[in-house]
Structure 1
C-alpha cells in the first residue's frame, strides 16, 4: 500500500515538472515571436527614416556649397608648360596684348623668327586687323570702309596696309625742342646780356582720335610721365599752363604733285581752356627719317580761329622746330 502511494507521488511530481517545462517552452516561443516582431518594426522604421536623413544631409551639403568660392588650381603647380603646347588661339591673344603696347617690332623681329609655327602665327590677319583699327580708326567711318580701303589700295593685305599706309605713332610722344635769343636787362652800357631761352612742345596722340599738346620749359624727363594715360589730362592741366586738348586726323593726298612730302598731312584742332574764344589749328607733314618710319612732324601752318568772328590769325613759326617721335615703353596703344 505504501509503495503504491509512493509511486503515485513520484508520477504526479513528474507530470507537474513536465507541465511546467511545457509552459516555459510556450513562454519562450511567445517572447521570441514578440522580439522578432519588434525587430521587424524597428527595421521598417529605420528603413523609412534613412532616406529622409540622407536627403536632409544632401540638402545641407548643397546649401553649404552655394556661398563657397572655389579656386581652380593646377594639380601640379610647379610643372611648367612649353609655349609651343598652347593652343594657337591663346597664343594669338597673347600677341594682341603685346602689340597693344606698341611693341610691333618684337612681333616681327623677335617672335616671328623663332620657328615656322610662330612665323605663321605672327602673320595672322586678326592681329594686323586690330592694329589697323587702332591706327586708322579716325580716318574711316566704319569697318566696311577700312576693309574696302585695304582691298583697293593694298591687295587685301592688312599687314601690307599697316606697313605702307601713312600713320602716326601712338606709343610715345612727339617732342619739339625750340630755342631763341632774348636780350637781357643791361646794368650799364658796357655790358649787354643775351639770354638763350629753351622751351619744348609736346604732342601725344591717342587711338580714338583725341590728342593733347603742351608748351612748357620743362624737360622731357619731367613731362613725359604725365602723358601716360588720357584720364590724367585734368591733372596735367592743373600742373602745367599752355595745355590744349584736341583732335587729330591724317590726310593722304593722292593727287599728283611734285612735293611727295605733302601727300601725308596731320591736322590737329585744339582748344586752350584759358582761351575759350579761339581754336588753334596745327598742320604738319608726316615724314620718315633714317631712324624710323613716320617719326617726324614738319610744320606747314599754325593759326588760330576766333570762334565768334571766324577770323583767322596766322601764328609765326620763326622759332619753331619740327617734332621728332620719342617712344615710351610704358605707354599703351589701346587708349
Structure 2
C-alpha cells in the first residue's frame, strides 16, 4: 500500500510540473494534535524591509550628478573646441571625471597613495578606528585603585572606537569618502561596545547613528546649583544667601564599568582625573547596562540606563544604584536625565531613596585627552 501511495504522489507531482512549469509543493502534513485538539503552527514573522544605506545612497546620487556635470561640460567644451581649436580644455575636464580616484591638488606632484588597492585602504581605516592611548593621564597610586585595567586588555576597552578620526579621513577626497563608509569598517565600530549593536534593517553606520547608545569618548556632566541661607557676621538683620555649585560626572566604558563622581571641582580640572583607578571622596565605581525603549518609532526611541553596584571606598557599608533616561537624539545621544537614585545597606538590605531635587540633566562633553 505504501509503495502504491508513493507512486501516486510521484505521478501527481510530475503532472503538476508538466502543467505549470514549476516544482509542486509537498502535500501539507496533518496538523499535530495535543490533548485531542489540533494545533496549528504559528506563522513565521514577516521580515522587515531592508532600508538602504543612507550615506552610500547619497554618495551614489552625488557621483551620478558629478558624472552628468562632467558629460555636459565635455559636450560644451567639444563644441567650443570645434570653433576655437583649443583641445586642452577637454582633456583637463576628462582627467577628473571619476570620483573613485585620488587627484593631487598640484598636478606636478605625484601621489603614491593613489595606487594603493582598496584592501590596503580598508586595513588602514580599521587601524584608524583603534583609538590611541591617552598621552597625559593623571597617575593614581596602586593602593587607591577602584578598578584596574585587565592585563593585556586593549585601550579600546576604555575609550571606544575612534569614529571621529574615521569621519575626518572621509573628508579628504571622494575615494576615501567611499571607503570610509564601507560595511566592514562600520561593523567594527558598531561591535566595539559592551552591548554591540544588533544589525537593524539598515547599514551598520545607520545603526550606529540612529540606535540608542552611550557615548564613551568623553564625560556626561550635570551642573547643579542651589541657594542656602546664611548669617551675616557684621549685621544679624541682613539676610545672606549662599549660592552652592557642584557637579556630577558620569563616565562609561565599553567593558560595562562606569565611574560616578560628585564633587565641587570644575570640569576643566575634573575630567582628566576621571580615569580607571580614581579613588577620591565622592567617586564610586559600578556597572551599567542599557534597556532600549521598544515600540517607539526610531526618531523617538530612547533608552534606560541602569547603574548598579556603585561602591564608594569611603562608604564601605553601602552600595548605590542610579537609573537614568537617555533622551532620543539620533546621532548625538548627549543628554541623560536622572530618574531614581538610591542606596543599599549591605548589612540590613535596607533601600533608601536619595533625594536629587537639585539634580539637572547630564550633558555630554567630549574629552580629547581620553585618546579618541
TM-score w.r.t. length of structure 2: 0.56
1:93 Cα deviation (Å)? 3.3
1:301 Cα deviation (Å)? 0.8
Whether the 8 Å CA contact 2:231–2:238 is kept in 1: the answer is no
- Cα offsets for 1:36-92 (capped at 9, x unmatched): xxxxxxxxxxxxxxxxxxxxxxxxxxxxxxxxxxxxxxxxxxx99633333433332
SS in 1 for 2:246: strand
1:111 Cα deviation (Å)? 3.0
Whether the 8 Å CA contact 1:173–1:328 is kept in 2: the answer is yes
User: Are residues 1:175 and 2:258 paired?
Assistant: no
Instruction: Supply the distance in 1 between the matched residues of 2:262 and 2:243 (Cα, whole angstroms).
Output: 17
Determine which structure has the larger helix proportion and give its number.
1
User: Are residues 1:206 and 2:253 paired?
Assistant: yes
Q: Which residue number corresponds to residue 329 of structure 1?
A: 368
Q: Work out which of the residue numbers 177, 182, 185 in structure 2 matches 1:119.
A: 177
Q: How do 1:1-335 and structure 2 match up within 5 A?
A: 82-101=112-131, 103-108=162-167, 110-135=168-193, 137=194, 139=195, 149-150=198-199, 154-155=200-201, 157-187=203-233, 188-227=235-274, 229-230=275-276, 233=277, 236-237=278-279, 240-255=280-295, 263-269=302-308, 270-288=310-328, 293-332=332-371
- Cα offsets for 1:201-242 (capped at 9, x unmatched): 111111111111111111111111123x42xx2xx31xx311
Whether the 8 Å CA contact 1:134–1:208 is kept in 2: the answer is no
Whether the 8 Å CA contact 2:312–2:319 is kept in 1: the answer is yes
1:194–1:225 Cα change, 3 Å: same
Q: Which residue number corresponds to residue 42 of structure 2?
A: none
Instruction: Supply the distance in 1 between the matched residues of 2:211 and 2:282 (Cα, whole angstroms).
Output: 33
Instruction: Supply the distance in 2 between the matched residues of 1:288 and 1:118 (Cα, whole angstroms).
Output: 31
1:127 Cα deviation (Å)? 1.6
SS in 2 for 1:167: coil
Whether the 8 Å CA contact 1:287–1:293 is kept in 2: the answer is no
Which of the two has higher C-alpha Rg?
1
Instruction: Supply the distance in 2 between the matched residues of 1:277 and 1:223 (Cα, whole angstroms).
Output: 26
Instruction: Supply the distance in 2 between the matched residues of 1:315 and 1:179 (Cα, whole angstroms).
Output: 17
* Structure 2: gaps spanning 5 or more residues: 1-108, 132-160
SS in 1 for 2:237: coil
1:288 Cα deviation (Å)? 4.8
Instruction: Supply the distance in 1 between the matched residues of 2:110 and 2:173 (Cα, whole angstroms).
Output: 20
SS in 2 for 1:155: coil
Whether the 8 Å CA contact 1:100–1:332 is kept in 2: the answer is no
1:112–1:316 Cα change, 3 Å: same
Instruction: Supply the distance in 2 between the matched residues of 1:325 and 1:318 (Cα, whole angstroms).
Output: 21
Instruction: Supply the distance in 2 between the matched residues of 1:306 and 1:211 (Cα, whole angstroms).
Output: 21
1:300–1:289 Cα change, 3 Å: same
Instruction: Supply the distance in 1 between the matched residues of 2:110 and 2:244 (Cα, whole angstroms).
Output: 58
The alignment yields a C-alpha RMSD, in angstroms, of 2.7
Instruction: Supply the distance in 1 between the matched residues of 2:257 and 2:115 (Cα, whole angstroms).
Output: 41
SS in 1 for 2:123: helix
SS in 1 for 2:369: coil
1:161 Cα deviation (Å)? 1.5
* Structure 1: gaps spanning 5 or more residues: 1-78, 141-145
- Cα offsets for 1:236-267 (capped at 9, x unmatched): 31xx311101111111121469xx57x41111
Q: Which residue number corresponds to residue 31 of structure 1?
A: none
1:192–1:116 Cα change, 3 Å: closer
